């Protein structure tokens, strides 16, 4: 019985750490510092510093090369344009229609600018004469069906009828057919000492292609 009591007391002292005694070979606990709560504290190192981003030299923008404005070379004009356009410089009676019955040409006549040829019309070259004016009358038009393409088949001796704005008409007879006149042969728009009717159309879509010219004179 005495042995059991002694064993129980020994276990109790071992589990509770004893009453202020320490185990053999262990250091005595340090006394608590004043104000010590017994709660452990954590100390951090110095505040972390943020490294600045690397800097780069400013980007230099190379300007795009500049080019001079493009110059557009105009197409050669149908006819020269350095002639007067005033009605007073155009002797004769103005025409409003032309017919060449042998090749089925029948077109209204309009005043032109020497450059453009309107579709479906015969165009009077500015500065040249009109019927009855005693000089060169120059009419031009496109080589298209229903227009001046019939000139390609006209024969010497064919009749040309020109209707005038006063209700009268003048008759002309073809005397020359010139199928390949250089495009820049400007003498064909020049005044003539006697009255003649000059009809012109093209031979190709190319601006410098030869012109097709028919000349007629007043019928006797």
Give percent of the chain above pLDDT 90.
Answer: 52
Is 19 part of any domain? no
Is 39 part of any domain? no
The pLDDT confidence band at residue 68, using thresholds 50, 70 and 90, is low
Is 180 part of any domain? yes
The whole-model pTM stands at: 0.61
Is 145 part of any domain? yes
CATH code of 142's domain: 2.40.260.10
7-57, pLDDT tens digit by residue? 333 333 333 344 444 444 444 444 444 444 444 444 445 555 555 666 766
Q: How many domains does the chain have?
A: 1
Q: 94: closest CA among 137, 40, 36?
A: 137
Is 74 part of any domain? no
Is 132 part of any domain? yes
82-123, pLDDT tens digit by residue? 344 344 579 999 999 999 999 999 999 999 988 888 899 999
Is 76 part of any domain? no
pLDDT, position 7: 34
pLDDT, position 63: 64
Is 8 part of any domain? no
Domain that holds residue 175: 94-218
């Amino acid at each position: 019985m005495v042995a059991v009591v002694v064993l129980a007391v020994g276990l109790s002292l071992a589990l509770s750490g004893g009453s202020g005694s320490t185990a053999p070979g262990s250091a005595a606990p340090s006394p608590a510092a004043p104000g010590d709560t017994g709660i452990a504290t954590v100390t951090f190192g110095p505040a972390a510093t943020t490294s600045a981003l690397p800097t780069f030299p400013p980007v230099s923008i190379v300007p795009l090369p500049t080019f001079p404005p493009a110059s557009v070379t105009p197409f050669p004009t149908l006819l020269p344009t350095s002639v007067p356009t005033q009605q007073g410089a155009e002797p004769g009676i103005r025409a409003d229609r032309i017919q060449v019955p042998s090749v089925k040409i029948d077109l209204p006549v309009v005043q032109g600018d020497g450059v453009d040829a309107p579709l479906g019309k015969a165009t009077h070259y500015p500065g040249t004469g009109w019927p009855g004016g005693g000089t060169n009358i120059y009419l031009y038009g496109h080589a298209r069906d229903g227009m001046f393409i019939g000139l390609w088949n006209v024969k010497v001796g064919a009749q040309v009828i020109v209707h005038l704005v006063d209700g009268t008409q003048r008759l002309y007879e073809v005397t020359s057919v010139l199928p390949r006149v250089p495009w820049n042969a400007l003498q064909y728009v020049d005044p003539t000492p006697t009255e003649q009717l000059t009809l012109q159309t093209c031979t190709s879509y190319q601006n410098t292609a030869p012109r097709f010219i028919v000349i007629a004179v007043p019928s006797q």
